[in-house]
A and B are shown apart, each in its own frame.
Chain A
Amino acid sequence: DAGVIQSPRHEVTEMGQEVTLRCKPISGHDYLFWYRQTMMRGLELLIYFNNNVPIDDSGMPEDRFSAKMPNASFSTLKIQPSEPRDSAVYFCASSLGWGGDHNTGELFFGEGSRLTVL
């Protein structure tokens, strides 16, 4: 399996522009998570989906952020308009969830998308 695939790996944009980050989870995983990594706060959970349905978006910082999961193999995180304080590394992760033989709670992370907003 190729693992969680994220694109783009790097994005540099100007303040006010729309940013779209993409994620392909591991096939068969029924949970998908979007995290943001900053020096001050470490890894923050933004939103997670179960079977393509958003379960908890309480970590989404503002209305400028939105996330979708139109099918089991694709998700997007959109920032519109972007601001310099949104500069961070955004990680997508997927998991099988709890129970059965897979109750370690292990998340499988992509390599991240480094966003710089000038």
Chain B
Amino acid sequence: DQQVKQNSPSLSVQEGRISILNCDYTNSMFDYFLWYKKYPAEGPTFLISISSIKDKNEDGRFTVFLNKSAKHLSLHIVPSQPGDSAVYFCAASPPQGAQKLVFGQGTRLTINP
């Protein structure tokens, strides 16, 4: 039972354009969401997060949008750069204190020059 789903295993975007990675979740109790980025042979690293009390959080080229009614979040990267090529994991957490991050399957983003 996959509570966090990333339905696109891969995405290819041209350098300079916008990359949009999507994530859906099923548990309405999730109230905190994170994106992690993973390069080959490395562990995932934290990228950006959003609380359920917000619908948008921005950090430089990265913006995360949350649509609670649709149980959907997305990560926008603009402009996309070759160094953004990586696997991106969406993660969700129940109310604070539970510590149990639930991750999606990941989306492999490739930025083409």
Contacts and interface: CB of A to CB of B under 8 A. Distances in A.
B13 interface: no
Given A39-B105, A108-B46, 9 more contacts: A42-B103, A55-B99, A56-B100, A97-B99, A104-B34, A105-B93, A110-B43, A111-B41, A112-B42
Interface of B: 2, 6, 32, 34, 36, 41-46, 49, 89, 91, 93, 96-97, 99-106
Interface of A: 4, 31, 33, 35, 39-45, 48, 50, 55-56, 91, 93, 95, 97-99, 103-112
Interface of B is mostly: loop
Given A42-B89, A98-B96, A105-B49, A111 B104 contact: no
A55 B99 CA distance: 10
Contacts, number: 66
A104 to B, nearest CB: 6
A40 B105 contact: yes
B34 A112 contact: no
Most buried by B among A31, A42, A45: A42
Contact of B44 (A40, A95, A109): A109
B43 A45 contact: no
A93 to B, nearest CB: 7
20 contacts: A31-B99, A33-B99, A41-B2, A42-B89, A42-B105, A43-B103, A45-B103, A97-B99, A98-B96, A98-B97, A103-B96, A105-B49, A106-B34, A107-B36, A107-B44, A107-B101, A109-B44, A109-B45, A112-B41, A112-B42
